[in-house]
Amino acid sequence: MNLGKDFTLSPVIKEIIDHNSSGQRIDNFLIKRLKGIRKDHIYRFMRSGQVRVNSKRINADYRLKEGDTVRIPPVKVIKDAPVVARILTKSRFISFEILFQDEALMVINKPAGIAVHGGSGVSFGVIEQLRAQYPNWKFIELVHRLDRETSGILLLAKKRGALVELHRQIREGKIEKRYLVMVKGNWPNIRQNVRFSLNKYVTTTGERRVAVVTDKTGNKKGVTAHTLITLQKSWQDFSLLEAELKTGRTHQIRVHLAHLGFPIAGDAKYGDFSLNKQLAGRNSKMPNLKRMFLHAAVTIITHPETGESLRLEAPLADDLQRFLDRLNTRSIN
């Protein structure tokens, strides 16, 4: 096929559906994944059989199920865009800190600012880089997701059986996930259970959001969400918390804390925008912080093959540690 001198084809992507995408129509899923590709082209891909689920043709109204394997076909992209194996502008692999690895699992300390999954063949994430970096691996899939600006522990399965088992542990609440989070204000309790149902919605501009369900009449549908908050340390205007996920809902920690009046420092979606501006400013008296202070610090799983308990820990990223150090220095002075 002659694509012209300015274009090339992206690689075929096979994505295994997790609980976050379960129930979504395949056409809406592809529109989100293939940003920048015309909708009529996406529907053409489905009609021609280039998009397949579990190796079978599907209609546009097919609703995805957890564990489905979706084949995303090659799309035409600009040649000057980054290629799969080169995420950085300097055309080199990002060096991920590997926290644990064996034949079944790979666990990395994901840096902030990197998506776990690419969108359209123009923007590539962690999983695309690993597939390109290790082309001889027969299988590598995300076990779960982290927001782009969240750093910390990210689990990947190197065997399908390991993926299925870890998804079972997630569904049954058998995986323990703890995050370190800095919030605005003085958190009042040493230990507190936060239970608010959450509802996903789309804004008039097409942005996906999550909000606490406040309608007591039951007119709004929501999903139960439970976060256990433990206070780690307080300063004059900030509190460091440990947030343990008892359920794993989209943006759960961010929305729960914002709803209670303790927005996460640097959160550009649910946070205090005036505070974020001060934190990002060079001349501010505030410690400098240019992204959301949310870090996946500890994860405890049962190894999918050996059955042994595996505790994984990721040290704070340098920028978050510097913010902590500045708060401590300021409190002494």
Q: b/e map of 120-149 (b: 16 or more CB within 10 Å)?
A: bbbebbbbbbbbbeeeeeeebbbbbbbbeb
CB 14 within 8 A of CB 25: no
- All structural domains of the chain, each given as residue ranges with its CATH number in brackets, are 1-80 (3.10.290.10), 176-332 (3.30.2350.10)
| Chain segment 13-51, per-residue pLDDT in tens | 777 787 667 888 999 888 877 766 788 888 989 999 999
| Chain segment 124-164, per-residue pLDDT in tens | 688 888 887 887 888 999 999 999 899 999 999 999 999 99
Q: How confident is the model at residue 9 (pLDDT cuts 50, 70, 90)?
A: low
- Catalogue the active-site residues: 147
Strands 176-184 and 238-245: antiparallel
Q: What is the CA radius of gyration of the chain?
A: 21
